Structure 1
Amino acid sequence: MEKRRVVITGMGTVNPLGNTVSDSWAAVQAGTCGIGPITRYDTSSMKVKLAGEVKDLDIDALLGRREARKMDRFTQLALIAADEAMNASGLARELERPDRCGVIFSSGIGGFETVGDAHQRGCSRGWDSVSPFMIPMIISNMAAGHMAIRYGLRGMCSCVVTACAGGTNAIGDAFRHIRDGYAEVMLCGGAEAAVVPLAMGGFTAMKALCESTDPLRASIPFDAERSGFVMGEGAGALVLEEYEHARARGARICAEVVGYGANCDAHHITAPVPGGAGGAACMALALADAGLEPEAVDYINAHGTSTPLNDACETAAIHTVFKDHVQRLMVSSTKSMTGHLLGAAGAVEAIFTALALEEGFVPATIGYQVPDPACDLDIVPNQGRRSEIKIALSNSLGFGGHNAAIALKKWEG
């Protein structure tokens, strides 16, 4: 069967830079740092003081207090982003076949805030005293389930759990689901809300997080002084649609999804394989899936976490795939502005990548000061760049060796 074309017709996000797509993109263009001192809990006894928090979001007003209380924060953020994406798509759901519309939505660790709160309550009041909503609040698939219920989407409904690669895997899997004829519309993306003491303590113990107290020198991908990632929270949601279906209803198209690669290092539970062989193979898979040569790519939104191993290995992977074309390739990490959103990262970064194509603006890697010979790429340092790019990749590389990459194409009608 001929492969069908897949386009993006709606996007929504809540993240440390803004609570809508337009506000977030304006902050990206301005090179804003969304990282700051943690306000959600007392950090006085903890080593890590900074995070990328969602700011000034009235969740009760957007979702209703009664409903919001039955959801963990990651699901709340997911639904707010999904509402924006669905509204932006202009999809008239009453005219759709609900069994041909589905959801693939990721979360890396699900309802961690609820886990911590329930444990404290159980310890103090007894284990049978925990909320009857605890289990449906903590499980990672619940954001996807709420979306299907909220919008009446009765096709495939799934949750990808591949750590930091999850958001990109969700988009790629949704892309294939439509391309191969199983659906016309898929709502996809990822959400995370792990700025909570238990999660932050765990990541601190494994030496993954930056302990700087300077927001401008904390999440510094590709910089020689990088020392770990900064935790972020948020959600990104995208409506993917079969092209002829979108065209028939006169939908506004943001970008086209043209390729997807997914594989595994099969090497280590947290460290990438030396030399970035897995990431290189994953990008090559995405290009082959799209029928593109490496020279066609203008920009990569890198995984770029600001950890010593990731940034050097991802740089090596890019050199492996793009060879001499690296000299003409722009590569930046928007995690320098948002921090690392774990399972939501790939979704939010896909939105930024689609907007980069649509508006001809390549985001910067902000906070860059000290060059690292192991990261010898054009990382678009400190200031974004106007450039009419046509093809872009977005990379996500997760604990467990999970790698995912999607290829997006500028929509030119």
Structure 2
Amino acid sequence: MTRRVVITGIGLVSPLGNSAEALWDALANERSGVAELTSIPSDSLPTRYGAEARGFTAAIEDFGPLEKKMSRDIKKNLKVMCREIQMGVAVAQLCITHAGLKLDAIDRDRLGVLYGSDYLLTLPGEFAAGVKNCVNDNGEFDFTRWADQGLPAVEPLWLLKYLPNLPAAHVAIFNDLRGPNNSLTCREASSNQAVAEAYHTIERGHADRMLAGATGTRIHPSRSIHVQIQEAIASGDDPAKLSRPFDAARNGQVIGEGAACILLEELSAAEARGATIIAEVIGSASSIVADRDSNPDEKTAIANVVKQCLKSAKLQPSEVGHIHAHGLSDVRRDKLEAQGIAAALGAAADKVPVTAAKSYFGNLGAAGGLVELIASALALQNGSLFPIQTLENLDPECPIRPAKRGDSAGETCINLSVTPQGQASGITIRRWAK
């Protein structure tokens, strides 16, 4: 017998707010989360704008209502968490609360945690004192001093702040969750892959419930420079119009940050506790395509994922309510993504609306795909689809049918993500109608 898997809880930290209600309100009213950067110096960046999760300060109140012991445990451990890990832990706690899940009433051996993340970069300040101790009289760094004078000045537990498996580990430890636990680090593809693995873990009977989360950032003293060197960052004077997926005038991505978590439950387990069901997960896919020199082929990877999502969900292209595209706002990659979507949908490409929430908040790194999946689940639940906010003139090389204001979200959605290396991932969800 097939085990059906449903979404029953949402936790969010995003540039559009830290709840499902705040996210949907911003999307429904076409409100951008892009503004002038406040958390990092922007003088060396090609833009002074980004999408910061300004409502998250890592104060204990940002983790939702907590019992006294849980509050104390999280507070004590915040000092060994970088911002991405803090956000990742917070969204799990917010998700548990949103789902109305009483942990003492369930079998914790059957509830697991699966998270996606980027590689987590150390803040330069972690090594400042140690590096200073190794500067010689000529003002040059002397590496021979590092072992005796540099390393001892580094905080002994600094590495614990940046291990990408720790969001899932902290969540499991804080909540005494003893089910399957795993962490995936595949850049922007991580969100959908984490949801997919959690979905299949329940489907194959290894758990009854899974917290599937992701956390990421492109706003960081070092990471933002990495992005600038490796990828195109949008330039312009109007922050709300910088991220322009599929628009003929797009010129690069907007950097952002965030985290998200959903509670997945086996249907009968969710119904037994009277859970409110948000949507059903019905398919997943993953594909990486590159040539022998490692040059990515995003068009083929995206087409593969859309086809696999259709096949695993037993859907025809015409039955897709909408596509939630990666929609990075990159000149080359948007074109290839659009062409991959069109190739997979065939004759239905002119009829299936395509949206992209990155037009509201840019690239949230590993967290973007899950925030976007939640946005589409809310659209299915509400019946209406948010448009690509900044799309004015569709690039003729992007053969998609862009979502417009007033479009129906339909009954199903395929959510897509893809990395610069050609790793694509997708999740198919269906509107819940009992």
Question: Structure 1 203/58 Cα, relative in aligned 2: closer, same or farther at 3 Å?
Answer: closer
Secondary structure, aligned partner of 2:283: strand
- Kindly indicate whether residue 408 of structure 2 is the aligned counterpart of residue 403 of structure 1: no
Is 1:72 the counterpart of 2:82 in the alignment? yes
Deviation at 1:404, TM superposition (A): 0.6
**Counterpart-to-counterpart distance in 1, 2:393 and 2:359:** 14
1:86 — aligned with what? Answer: 96
Which residue number in structure 1 is paired with residue 368 of structure 2?
A: 345
| Structure 1 residue 386, shift from structure 2 partner | 4.7
Q: 1:55 to 1:271 in 2, by over 3 A?
A: farther
Q: Distance in 2 between matches of 1:249 and 1:75?
A: 30
Instruction: Tell me, yes or no, if the aligned pair for 2:214 and 2:259 is still in contact at 8 Å.
Output: yes
Aligned ranges for residues 369-380 of structure 1 at < 5 Å? 369-380=392-403
Q: CA deviation at 1:238?
A: 0.3
Q: Which amino acid aligns with 1:100?
A: R
Q: Match for 1:120 among 117, 128, 148?
A: 128
Q: How does 1:20-39 map to 2 (within 5 A)?
A: 20-39=19-38
Q: Distance in 1 between matches of 2:169 and 2:409?
A: 39
Contact 2:324/2:356, CA 8 A, preserved across alignment: yes
8 Å contact 1:102–1:187 — kept in the other structure? yes
Mapping of 1:105-254 within 5 angstroms? 105-110=115-120, 112=121, 114-125=122-133, 126-254=150-278
Matches within 5 A, 1:311-330: 311-330=334-353
Distance 2:311 2:266 in 1: 20
CA drift at 1:204: 0.6
Q: CA deviation at 1:153?
A: 1.0
Using a 3 Å threshold, how does the CA distance of structure 1 residues 139 and 167 change in structure 2: closer, same or farther?
A: same
Q: Secondary structure at the match of 1:374?
A: coil
Give the CA deviation at 1:259.
0.3
Aligned match of 1:283: 306
1:160-191 deviations in whole A, cap 9, x for unaligned? 11111101110011001101111000001210
Identity within the alignment, %: 29
Given residue 279 of structure 1, which amino acid in structure 2 is its aligned partner?
I
Query: Taking structure 1 as reference, are residues 195 and 364 closer, same or farther at Cα in structure 2, changes over 3 Å only?
Result: same
Contact 1:73-1:193 within 8 A present in 2 as well: no
Answer yes or no: is the 8 Å Cα contact 2:9–2:95 preserved in 1.
yes
Instruction: State how far apart, in whole Å, the 1-side matches of 2:75 and 2:273 are.
Output: 35
Rounded to whole Å, the distance in 1 between the matches of 2:236 and 2:152 is 41
**Displacement of 1:42:** 2.1
Task: Flag the 1:270–1:352 CA change in 2: closer, same or farther, 3 A.
Answer: farther
Tell me the distance in 2 between the aligned counterparts of 1:143 and 1:355: 25
Shift of 1:271: 6.0
> Which letter does structure 2 place at the counterpart of 1:24?
L
| Counterpart-to-counterpart distance in 1, 2:106 and 2:159 | 32
Looking at structure 2, the residues matched to 212 and 222 of structure 1 have their Cα atoms a distance apart, in angstroms, of: 17
| In 1: Cα distance, 2:77 partner to 2:219 partner | 22
**Contact 1:271–1:399 (8 Å) recurs in 2:** no
Would the aligned equivalents of 2:46 and 2:233 in 1 still touch at CA under 8 Å? no
**Paired residue for 2:68?**
none
Contact 2:8 2:264 in 1 (8 A): yes
1:335 positional shift: 0.3
2:399 alignment partner AA = D
Q: How far did 1:272 drift?
A: 4.0
CA-to-aligned-CA distance 1:241-274 (integer Å, 9 cap, x gap): 0001111111110000000011211348996416
TM-score by length of 1: 0.94
Deviation at 1:69, TM superposition (A): 2.2
Contact 1:103 1:186 in 2 (8 A): yes
Of 393, 410, 414, the residue aligned with 1:393 is 414
Q: What's the TM-score once normalised by structure 2's chain length? A: 0.90
Q: 1:378 to 1:251 in 2, by over 3 A?
A: same
What SS class does the counterpart of residue 106 from structure 1 fall into?
strand
Amino acid at match of 1:376: P
Q: Secondary structure at the match of 1:222?
A: coil
Say whether 1:255 aligns with 2:282.
Answer: no
* Unmatched segments (≥5 aa) in structure 1: none
The separation in 1 between residues aligned to 2:286 and 2:293, in whole angstroms, is 17
Structure-2 separation of matches of 1:45 and 1:161: 28
Query: Contact 2:17 / 2:55 at 8 angstroms: preserved in 1?
Result: no
Instruction: Determine helix, strand or coil for the equivalent of 2:281.
Output: strand
CA distance in 1, matches of 2:289, 2:423: 7
Please name the residue that 1:102 is paired with. Answer: 112
Q: Which residue of 1 aligns with 2:359?
A: 336
Render the CA deviation track for 1:190-226: whole Å, top value 9, x for unaligned: 1013311211111111233223342133110001111
Provide, for residues 20-50 of structure 1, a one-character-per-residue CA deviation record: whole Å limited to 9, x for no partner. 1111110011111111111112222332321
Point out where structure 2 has 5 or more consecutive residues left out of the alignment.
64-73, 134-149
Query: CA RMSD for the aligned pairs?
Result: 1.8
Q: Residues 33 and 240 of structure 2 are in contact (CA less than 8 Å); yes or no, is this contact kept in structure 1? A: no
